[in-house]
Structure 1
Amino acid sequence: MGDHDSGGVHVKGSSIAVTRDWQATFAQNLSPPCPASCKRCLMSQIDSLFVTRLYRAPLSEHGKPVDPSELEAACLSIAEDDEAGQEWCDQNDFPGYTSYASLTDLPWRFPIFKSVKKALDKHVKAFAKDLAFDLDGRKLKLEDIWINILPEGGIHTAHIHPHSVISGTTYVAMPEGTSALKLEDPRLPMMMAAPGRMKDAPQELRQFVYAAPVVGDVLLWESWLRHEVPMNMAEEDRISVSFNYAWA
């Protein structure tokens, strides 16, 4: 068979040789050149997905300021008089004191807790807005609020808050050396074969994060986030007020 040209392809016998011109055209059709300003071609892109939010602010940022020393005195007085709560703590080997199982109406009983609730309502509203919750015209409503008094050596083991939307704590007494709040990556059970993280890994890549609040702070998180209070290494009591908000 003779030689002939066919549209940029040089055909000789049964073999086909692709000319340089046709090769260049073919490459351009497969991969159009990008402009020099295309950032996608200059660097890789890594996004953070499914973010876990932690809200932190002074309680006094919203509502009437609450005197921490007055709130501490109220917590200690309630703990001293709450025999039902003391009995529950003894029966359940709970270190220190909590009113969780005995007093569910602190804002109704004590004016200072009414002020705390008013402030918390506004903080939770702000957090819900940040989370882009579609509440369908309803509100997040305070469901539970309770006192925690953790003595030296006491711990609160890891837990979640079922049947709630947003949970949190405001801090009343945080002596030097007391424990921070420990938060756990909610995906941890699914990291079956994943290696551990470097000690200096960025906070957003760590599997546990410690939040060290100060007196007067309020922390909020979604109620499915597992958390704990490690052992209180301070000699003085660690006092806080925790709460749950549900979708009314």
Structure 2
Amino acid sequence: MPVRALFPTLFYEGQIDDDALIAELEQSALQLAQDDRAGRAWSRANGYRGYTSYASLNDLPARDPAFAALKRKLDRHVAAFAEELQLDLGGRRLRLDSLWVNVMQRHATHSGHIHPHSAISGTFYVAVPPGSGALKLEDPRLPLLMAAPLRPDTFVYAEPAQGSVFLWESWLRHEVMPSDAKEPRISISFNYS
């Protein structure tokens, strides 16, 4: 008797191999972490070990040519993923809704969450020193499994490297595992709607 896989959860793992762009983005991210007082204050107030521009800056592609170049590359990755997901966009394209920098210090983590009001979310990894920690993805059926025994893939850990592009549908619950790296892990997260 055949068994079909229904409603699969897709996860995209791509790569941007552009050392010059990655170096520019790293420099820009570190400069933002120094200059963005509102972002540093938000990070402190919310217990974020390091810096994020999540709540302070929403115009990075317009502000810095390196982020504009990254956006153009991400647009292509997101379009390919949307096609693989077979999203019916009615002839339209997904557009970048938000993009923010994360400079995470040692022991930094980001607890489980989703990205409401978006279709596709993702992260581009600029600097991933050894021990940085993985992205933990949760089986979306988990709240509905009730008395079912655990499966070996209830949680999946995606290990990033410098230049990695990870994409997922925004409803997929995920978290950033604690970093044990001695140097900051630098990433750029984003949403498309």
| TM-score of the pair, normalised by structure 2 | 0.96
Range moving further from structure 2, 64-73 or 135-144 = 64-73
Give the distance between the partners of 1:55 and 1:47, measured in 2 at CA. 22
| TM-score of the pair, normalised by structure 1 | 0.75
Is structure 2 residue 30 aligned with structure 1 residue 73?
no
SS of match in other structure, 1:167: strand
1:57-136 aligned at under 5 Å gives the runs 57-60=14-17, 67-136=21-90
Stretches of structure 2 that go unaligned for 5 or more consecutive residues are none
- Per-residue displacement from partner, 1:139-188 (whole Å, max 9, x unpaired)? 20100000011110111011000000000000011011110100000000
Aligned to 1:163: 117
Is structure 2 residue 7 aligned with structure 1 residue 50?
yes
Aligned to 1:27: none
Higher CA-based Rg: 1
Aligned to 1:184: 138
Aligned to 2:156: 209
- Per-residue displacement from partner, 1:45-66 (whole Å, max 9, x unpaired)? 2221110000111124xxx775
Q: Report how many aligned residue pairs link the two structures.
A: 193
Identity percentage over the alignment? 53
Give the distance between the partners of 1:117 and 1:65, measured in 2 at CA. 16
How big is the alpha-carbon RMSD for the aligned residues of Structure 1 and Structure 2?
Answer: 1.3
1:223 to 170, 174, 179: 170
Tell whether the 8 Å contact from 2:123 to 2:165 is kept in structure 1 after alignment: yes
Stretches of structure 1 that go unaligned for 5 or more consecutive residues are 1-43
Q: Which AA in structure 2 matches 1:193?
A: A
Structure 1 residue 236: Cα displacement: 1.2
Q: Which AA in structure 2 matches 1:89?
A: S
SS of match in other structure, 2:33: helix
Give the distance between the partners of 1:222 and 1:114, measured in 2 at CA. 23
Q: Which AA in structure 1 matches 2:97?
A: E
Tell whether the 8 Å contact from 1:66 to 1:115 is kept in structure 2 after alignment: no
- Per-residue displacement from partner, 1:117-146 (whole Å, max 9, x unpaired)? 000111111111111111012220100000
Give the distance between the partners of 2:77 and 2:22, measured in 1 at CA. 17
- Cα gap change, 1:134/1:235 in structure 2, threshold over 3 Å: closer, same or farther? same
SS of match in other structure, 1:119: helix
Whose RCO is larger (CA < 8 A, sep 6+)?
A: 2
Give the distance between the partners of 1:228 and 1:81, measured in 2 at CA. 27
2:98 to 144, 149, 158: 144
Tell whether the 8 Å contact from 2:135 to 2:175 is kept in structure 1 after alignment: yes
1:237 to 184, 187, 193: 184
Q: Which AA in structure 1 matches 2:74?
A: L
Tell whether the 8 Å contact from 1:85 to 1:98 is kept in structure 2 after alignment: yes
Give the distance between the partners of 1:72 and 1:223, measured in 2 at CA. 25
